[in-house]
Structure formats: structure tokens, C-alpha cells
Amino acid sequence: MRIARLALALSTASMSAAAADDAWHAKAREMLAEAIAIPTVAGRGKVPALAQSLADRYKAAGWADSDIHVLPYDASPVDRTAALIVRWPASGKAKARPIMLMSHMDVVEAKAEDWSMDPFAMIEKDGYLYGRGTSDIKQGVVAVTIALMQLKAQGFKPKRDIIVFFSGDEETVGRGAMLGATEWKHLLDVEYGLNSDGGGGGFTPDGKPIGFTFQTAEKTYADYAFTARNPGGHSSRPRPENAIYQLSEALNRLGRYRFEPSLNATTRAYFGERQKSEAGALGDAMRAWLANPADGAAADAIEADPGEVGLTRTRCVATMLNGGHAPNALPQLARATVNCRIMPGVSPDAIRDELQTIAGDKVEVSRLDDSLASLDSPLRADILKAYTDSVHAMFPNAPVIPEMSAGASDARPFREHGIPIYGVDGSWGIVPDDMRAHGRDERLPLKALDDDIDHWVRMLKTLAGP
């Protein structure tokens, strides 16, 4: 039986046996187990230990000390953390500018009482690898590292410098990526970056390929405060104006509000591919919106599908709430945090102004961060072809679809500073069963880790080879 069919059917015994025959895949499992055992969550200060462990592995594999940099930095108010930068110089005179391979070493918290197993001890079970970071995104750290070590051991001679950049706070404040795009630019002056924290594929439980995504854009993350103030008073003498009521009315208006839909190059390409295989009302809505981007009803119909939420427009939602100071006093202040995921290229200040109009004159809207507008990366044919060819080497019938992520990653600061980033991960999972990033019993098919390593080897041979 073909390996692809085994992977899709999750014939676990065969998958494990096939992986065990490959020394590099076995080394990857060992490295991933070590990485997961180091709880690189905010506040524990463990990221530097993982960074040093990886640095030691690169040194043992033949990298020079001068090409390995463990860079401690302050990710206030969360933690002291570290980044890892490793350079593989071109063989002879470089024929092209460097490329950057990206991932992050930190993970979100996982409590043992919330899991059915220890989240920081990798367990192999029924063809899966379980543990915090197996899918987000220590498998990316490991796949990139093992692919490079395999290529070096096999005598590969890169035509350009290959630079690894693993940050230490992507899940929190993202300062490492900002430093990488600015203060550490002399170490990361690259033509473009390939991000393991983007891309990847999905399959239905019966093995039908949903597709692999080629991530070229992501929405801007921005937080805002809605604040209502009032003189207050005694609760026995209610006033016509109440800060909690005013805030509630503003939030209700926000809940009903829809920002104008918009298409960019990435989402046009995404829906152009999606509509080819999407039947029924959803497919009709996609085709209608592509034909007329001003068709708000069609965009609304797309957004009504759980799998497409956030892809047609900016979305903002209330996420935190507090108000009042005593049970027998009229509230003097009521405040809500509103989180927005903003379409690329749209200023967060412009969204603040739009939110102020929604909130009305009784509620003040202010920004809680200083994020800049995220930008999209151009759809480069050479990188898309390398990604598509590699995916099709594993799964010939899997669609490859450009994607704009609704979430955020380390790609944003680099894009803002003129370095295009492409999410090109080669791992995959069964949808929705394996979609457990940040959740309980996070897992990755063992075969997906093996495939991801082979995928990075192919990509690098194509993009950095002679």
C-alpha cells in the first residue's frame, strides 16, 4: 500500500515502522521529545535552555561557533527569553541573497490537570505524537533543524546563506521578531523568509485532501479599550446615565456591526481556488463575491461558515470586561477590551476612529498597543512552485491555496520592514480532530513529522541549491 494512503488512513502500526527505518526521522523524534520536555511557557524562563540545547546540536553537527548566536532578550512584562540565530554560509561566492528559516521556541501554557497525560512529556500513541508544541510549533523547530543537519551530512552545498531564526516570545509579546527585523538586522539581512509557523495541510477523516496553504499575509492584531465614565453616586438613587449601561449599549452596537468587506491579492487567490471545489450555497457566495467585491451579502454568507470567519473583512470582538467599584454604588467606570484582527494594509488608527463612531460619544475608544499595519507578501512564483512541487511529491492531488491568516505570527514585523515572509510548513493533520494547537492533548501524526522533514529538504534543495 502506498505510504500516502497509509498516512491518510492513519494505519498507525505501518506508519511507525516506516518511520523507524529512517535514522533522520528517528533523530527528529528524539529532538522533539527533548524540546517538549523543556516547558518554554511564559514566566518559567526556560526558553534560553532550549535555545542553548539547539545551539549545542548545531555545533555538534559541524556549524562554527561564530555562526551560532544565542541572544537573550527582555520580553517584558512576560519573561526573560532568548532567540537563536544560526547561519550556514554559502559554498563559495553566494549566487543569491540569504534566506531565513523561521519558527519559535515558546509555547502556550498547558496544565497537567487539563490534559489526559503530562503535556511536557512527549508520548507516542496510535500513530500520533502528543505533547505541548507537537503542532505549534516545536515540530517546525525540529523539522527545520533536522533537514539542515541532513543536508549538511549529505554534502549539500548551498548557493546562498541559509539563516535560522527561532524566536522566544511569539506566543506573548512578539519582541523577538521585532528585534530580528530591526536591531538584529545585520544578522538577518535576507531576501525573504520561510516560516514553519504558517502553511501546512489538512485532510478529512476519510482521507480526502482539503489542501495545503501557502501563507503570504496575516491580519494585524490590535487591542482597544472601550471606556465609559460617570460621576457615580448611591445605588438607591439611580441616575439616567449609567456607565455600565452606556458601555453595554456600545458593545451591542459593535456586536451587530460589520466592517466593509475587501479583497487583496492573497484572499482573491484563496477564494479563487476554494470556489473550484466548494459546492452549494458557500461556493455560490464565493463566486458572487469574487465577481463583485462590493457584494456585502455574499461576504456575509462566506463569514457565516465557521471555516471562513475573518477572511473577508476586519473583525473586532469584546474579550474582557470590568466595571463598578461596589455593589451599593453607581459605577463610575466601566471598561471593555476589544480585540481586532485587521485586514493587511489598514491602519489600526483608522480602525480606532471607526470604533469610536460605533461606540458613540458616551464611550471613549483608545488603543492599548502600538502595532503597525500588517502587510502582505507578493505571491512569488518561484517560492509557490517550490512549495507546490514539494507538497505534490507527498500528496499529488492536494490543492495548494494561498492564505491570509486570521491570527498573528513572527512574520508581521519582518513584512513591515520590507522582508517578505512565506508560511510553507509541510506538516498536516486530520480536520477537525487534530486541530488542537493551544488546546487539550495537542498532537501531530507521526507521519506528518516525517513528511515535514522531507518537505524542508526538498524546499531547500530547490531554493538554496546550485
337/342 Cα distance (integer angstroms): 16
112 CB-contact burial (10 Å; exposed 0-12 / middle 13-18 / buried 19+):
exposed
The pLDDT of residue 3 is 30
Span 353-412, pLDDT tens digits: 999 999 999 999 999 998 889 999 999 999 999 999 999 999 999 999 999 998 889 999
What is residue 418's three-state secondary structure? Answer: coil
The pLDDT of residue 76 is 84
Strand spans (E) along 294-417: 315-323, 329-330, 333-342, 364-367, 400-405
Same fold for the pair 3-219+374-464 and 220-259+314-367: no
Which of the listed CATH numbers 3.40.630.10, 4.10.320.10, 1.20.1440.230, 3.30.499.10 matches domain 3-219+374-464? 3.40.630.10
pTM assigned to the model? 0.89
Q: Which residues of 225-256 are buried (b: 16+ CB within 10 A; e: fewer)?
A: ebbbbbebeeeeeeeeebbbbbbbbbbeebee
446 phi, psi to nearest 5 deg: -55, -40
Domain definitions of the chain by residue range:
3-219+374-464, 220-259+314-367
For residue 90, the tally of other CB atoms under 10 A from its CB is 18
* Half-sphere exposure (Cβ direction) of 218: Cα atoms closer than 13 Å: 26
409/405 Cα distance (integer angstroms): 9
| Positions in the chain whose pLDDT score sits under 50 | 1-21
72/85 Cα distance (integer angstroms): 11
Which of the listed CATH numbers 3.30.70.360, 3.30.1490.150, 3.40.50.1980, 3.40.190.10 matches domain 220-259+314-367? 3.30.70.360
The pLDDT of residue 388 is 98
The pLDDT of residue 153 is 97
